[in-house]
Amino acid sequence: MRDVSIIGIGQTKVGEHWEKSLRDLAVESLQAAMADAGVKEADALYVGNMLGGEFVGQEHLGTLIADFAGLRGTEAFRVEAACCSGAAALRQGYLAVASGLHEIVAVTGVEKMTDALGCITAAGLAMAADGDYEASQGLSLVAVHALLMRRYMHEYGATNADFAMFAVNAHRNAVGNPYAMFRQPISKDAFEKARMVADPINLLDSAPVADGAATVVLCPAERAREYSEQPIGVAASAAATDSVALHDRRDPLFLEAAYLSAQRAYQQARVSPADIDLFELHDAFTIMSALSLEACGFAERGEGFKLAQNGNISLEGPTPICTMGGLKARGNPVGATGVYQVVEVVQQLRGQAGPNQVEDPRLGMAQNIGGSGATAITHILKAMN
Amino acid sequence: MTEDFLLLKPDREVGIVGYGAYVPRYRLPASEVARVWKEGQDALPVEEKAVPGLDEDVATMSIEAARNALKRAGIDPKLIRAVWVGSESNPYAVKPTSTIVAEAIGAAPHTQAADWEFACKAGTEAIQAAIGFVGSGMARYALCIGMDSSQGRPGDDLEYTTGAGGAAYIIGPKEQSLAYIEGSYSYVTDTPDFFRRPGQHYPQHGHRFTGEPAYFKHVLTAGQRLMEELGYKAKDYTYAVFHQPNTKFPLKAGQALGFSEEQMQAGLLVPVTGNTYAGSSLLGLTNVLDEATPGDKVLLVSFGSGAGSDAFSLVVTDLIEERRRRAPLTQDYIARKKTIDYALYARFKKKLEMH
């Protein structure tokens, strides 16, 4: 297996793109990434997307996007793993380059969600849960996470307000990210007064659905400097699964897949959580931030929510998370999110994060999670300078 | 067509010679909808909405408003050569409301009559046509009505705001007008933000899609373009009235065009009437005319889903003072209210189906 590097990144602003279609967004980010990498062709394009068929009536995305980006003829297809589709596509690209099969591979994550009515969006997202045993019983994806959060609060004595700083931190960081959806700070007070969505999850616990696309371009590490002055190495790529249904888990309050994929990634990169300079975690809901920090070894069981206090997770803190706004404030274009996370880690490791720059980072981690924790894919990136 | 001729202005200048408001008596507080459907917890887009009584519909309410307009105009109804009703809640799918109104006010039979449809801008659409009808010399007067008693699906966000009421305007020669029309402009696109198909009782709306790409795009473009064509800025107007589906949208649109809340206050009735659809901006205008003084300029911008906006620039004349008191004021109707609960609302709006 060869080492793999990221030589180009591209992203669209996350938000409500009323005037742009799914293909417009995907092509825009893909062309930006290819321009960044200085390449005009790719051996393969892998597209991460969860709900193109449900939301905009379009499947067959790999070929469609390749064609409209001027890559007709190249290998191209879509990769789907619910909310983890973006990272799954990246892993596919990583494997293709690492195996020696391909030289230049583009990975695009894209989702166009705001053309669909709210009821369609909720029903679509619920497909990330177990259709027979969860969704058909009336559980939406928010409701599944509400069950998790309620149990967590019961077990560990946490309150709603204890989760506020996850959202406050994300919004504070989004202010400095021109690609973020919500570029305004929120207060702890506003969080505590936010309208309930599915008790105990309130509006500001929840990441917004959005439109957006992000792309990375990969090549073998030994050729990276042909294309980029600042290539970023992929130190680890690791995937793991758990049961799709919450009730089938050995311990619903422990994200087994997140744990396994993180452990595999640490092992591959030969690092530990203490070596990670920033962590783009999957904060679809604030409860997932707490559980991810615990599963990935940054906090003890039941202590994840405490890490949000006292600036620990801020840009200047020991464990910076959601450095460009996270899912909460950058926005969550579901199938694109995993690629956005990696693009943001690249920005940080290149020193291109502007006002959000973490001081001299060497290792950054991104973890994308599907459903309520059923699939987790972790990537660890390293600066190569 | 070049963009040199976008301002709509007839050869013969026209204006409003009479106007009349109508708002039904009953009010349903938004908190009552939240109590029934959202356990009392929801952001309320209005304070309350007007609800028609059991014996009221768009025909009866249009007649009330038309009679008020006739009182103010002081003209013989037989001189009205067009009776046009804009609504999306006509009592009949096939059979005009306008003939009922024409007959009731004494304008029939030597008149033209038609119902207009363009979601919430059906009333201003009729006014655009009336400007041409009167401005060309074909008719001395034309009666235009925007009136609705619209439907919101129980539990839907729309149920907070779907109100009832509207206004009637008699368009006639400028020299007889209490407010003359300086010019107007219409802007439309094919935008499916809100619709109701035949046979459906309740409309389908596009949630947040109804905002930026629909309401704001059309209202802001129409308002801005008309002001540009006339060489005006927001500060040149005493009043601005916008279509008001909720309290937030018109205020945000007005601010984007440079208007202050003070300029918009008189024309903003949605907090106490709900969204009266085709009557919405036109009812705001009756309240403005109720308090305006001669020389005041008024910007009126409607919005209809589907989607489009009509913008009008009006100047109030000396005739306003004497005609204003000839009929009940808009605020008289707003003050004449009886609060009902959701149960009575369900009965009045025929929400209960008994099979």
What is the per-residue pLDDT for A35? 98
Q: Which residues of B touch A115 (CB under 8 A)?
A: 209
pLDDT, mean over chain A: 97
Q: Which residues of B touch A120 (CB under 8 A)?
A: none
CA B31 to each of CA B25, B39, B48, B159, B161: distance values in angstroms, whole numbers, following the listed order:
18, 10, 8, 11, 11
What is the per-residue pLDDT for B2? 52
Residue A321 per-residue DSSP state: B
What angle (nearest 5°) sits at the alpha carbon of residue A134, between those of residues A130 and A138? Answer: 135
Arithmetic mean of pLDDT, B99-121: 97
What is the per-residue pLDDT for A3? 98
CA distance to partner chain A, nearest, from residue B44 (Å): 12
**How many CB atoms are located within 10 Å of the residue A121 CB?**
21
Read off the pLDDT of residues B171-217 as tens digits, 9 standing for 90 and up.
999 999 999 999 999 999 999 999 999 888 898 888 888 999 999 99
Is the pLDDT confidence value at A292 over 80? Answer: yes
Instruction: Label residue A195 exposed, middle or buried (CB < 10 Å: 0-12, 13-18, 19+).
Output: exposed
Map out the domains of chain B with their CATH numbers.
12-350 (3.40.47.10)
Arithmetic mean of pLDDT, B317-326: 97
Q: Which of B115-124, B139-148, B344-353 has the lowest mean pLDDT?
A: B344-353
Q: Do B41 and A16 touch (CB under 8 A)?
A: no
Closest C-alpha to B142, from B155, B125, B157? B125
Read off the pLDDT of residues A52-82 as tens digits, 9 standing for 90 and up.
999 999 999 999 999 999 999 999 999 999 9
Token pair for residue A237? 């790529």
Is the pLDDT confidence value at B313 over 80? Answer: yes
**How many CB atoms are located within 10 Å of the residue A348 CB?**
25
B118, β-bridge pairs: B120
- The alpha carbon of B22 is separated from its chain's Cα centroid by a whole number of angstroms, namely 11
pLDDT band at B40 (very low <50, low <70, confident <90, very high): confident
Q: Do A18 and B41 touch (CB under 8 A)?
A: no
What is the per-residue pLDDT for B3? 62
Q: Do A195 and B43 touch (CB under 8 A)?
A: yes
What's at A218, amino acid-wise? L
Q: Do B213 and A196 touch (CB under 8 A)?
A: no
A47, β-bridge pairs: A78, A108
Q: Do B206 and A117 touch (CB under 8 A)?
A: yes
CA B264 to each of CA A63, B244, B259, B268: distance values in angstroms, whole numbers, following the listed order:
52, 11, 7, 6
What's at A296, amino acid-wise? C
Q: Which residues of B touch A117 (CB under 8 A)?
A: 204, 206-207
Is some CB atom of chain A closer than 8 A to the CB atom of B175? no
Closest C-alpha to A104, from A260, A228, A245, A193? A228
Arithmetic mean of pLDDT, B279-287: 98
The interface residues of chain A toward chain B in range 233-252, judged by CB-CB distance below 8 A, are none
Arithmetic mean of pLDDT, B294-322: 98
Q: What percent of chain A has pLDDT over 70?
A: 100
CB B316 within 8 A of CB B179: yes
**Residues of B with a known catalytic role:** 88, 120, 243
Is some CB atom of chain A closer than 8 A to the CB atom of B34? no
Is the pLDDT confidence value at B1 over 80? Answer: no
3-state secondary structure A24-46: HHHHHHHHHHHHHHCCCCCCEEE
Arithmetic mean of pLDDT, B213-224: 97
pLDDT band at B353 (very low <50, low <70, confident <90, very high): confident
Read off the pLDDT of residues A206-224 as tens digits, 9 standing for 90 and up.
999 999 999 999 999 999 9
Arithmetic mean of pLDDT, A315-323: 97
Is some CB atom of chain B closer than 8 A to the CB atom of A3? no
Pick B41's closest partner by Cβ from A18, A19, A195.
A195
CB B86 within 8 A of CB B144: yes
Give the side-chain half-sphere CA count within 13 A for B186.
17
CA distance to partner chain B, nearest, from residue A20 (Å): 12
Read off the pLDDT of residues A186-208 as tens digits, 9 standing for 90 and up.
999 999 999 999 999 999 999 99
Q: Do B208 and A195 touch (CB under 8 A)?
A: no
What is the per-residue pLDDT for B204? 86
CB A338 within 8 A of CB A109: yes
Arithmetic mean of pLDDT, A4-17: 98
The string of DSSP codes covering A65-133 is HHHHTT-TTSEEEEE-BTBTHHHHHHHHHHHHHHTTS-S-EEEEEEE--TTS-HHHHHHHHGGGS-TTT
Phi/psi at A57 (5° precision)? 70, 30
Q: Do A18 and B209 touch (CB under 8 A)?
A: yes
Read off the pLDDT of residues A100-132 as tens digits, 9 standing for 90 and up.
999 999 999 999 999 888 889 999 999 999 999
Read off the pLDDT of residues B245-256 as tens digits, 9 standing for 90 and up.
999 999 999 999
Is the pLDDT confidence value at A314 over 80? Answer: yes
Residue A253 per-residue DSSP state: T
Arithmetic mean of pLDDT, A308-333: 97
Is the pLDDT confidence value at B355 over 80? Answer: no
Is some CB atom of chain A closer than 8 A to the CB atom of B157? no
Is some CB atom of chain A closer than 8 A to the CB atom of B335? no
Q: Do A18 and B207 touch (CB under 8 A)?
A: no
Closest C-alpha to B237, from B245, B227, B229, B247? B227
- Rounded-to-integer distance, Cα B319 and Cα A14, Å: 54
> Which one of A21, A112, A114 makes the best mutation probe of the B interface by having the most chain B beta carbons within 10 Å?
A114
Is some CB atom of chain B closer than 8 A to the CB atom of A19? yes
**How many CB atoms are located within 10 Å of the residue B216 CB?**
16
Is some CB atom of chain B closer than 8 A to the CB atom of A229? no
Arithmetic mean of pLDDT, A325-341: 98
Closest C-alpha to A337, from A280, A289, A259, A287? A280
- Rounded-to-integer distance, Cα B276 and Cα B266, Å: 16
Map out the domains of chain A with their CATH numbers.
4-117+210-232 (3.40.47.10), 137-208+237-383 (3.40.47.10)
The string of DSSP codes covering B202-236 is S-EE-GGGGIIIIIIHHHHHHHHHHHHHHT--GGG
CB A171 within 8 A of CB A117: no
Phi/psi at B151 (5° precision)? -110, 130
- Rounded-to-integer distance, Cα A262 and Cα A286, Å: 19
Token pair for residue A260? 């396994």
Arithmetic mean of pLDDT, A361-374: 97
ipTM score for this prediction: 0.70
**Dihedral angle of Cα A223, A226, A229, A234, to the nearest 10 degrees:** -20
B21, β-bridge pairs: B167
What is the per-residue pLDDT for B154? 93
The interface residues of chain B toward chain A in range 210-239, judged by CB-CB distance below 8 A, are 212-213
pLDDT band at B43 (very low <50, low <70, confident <90, very high): confident
3-state secondary structure A41-83: CCCEEEEECCCHHHHHCCCCHHHHHHHHCCCCCCEEEEECECE
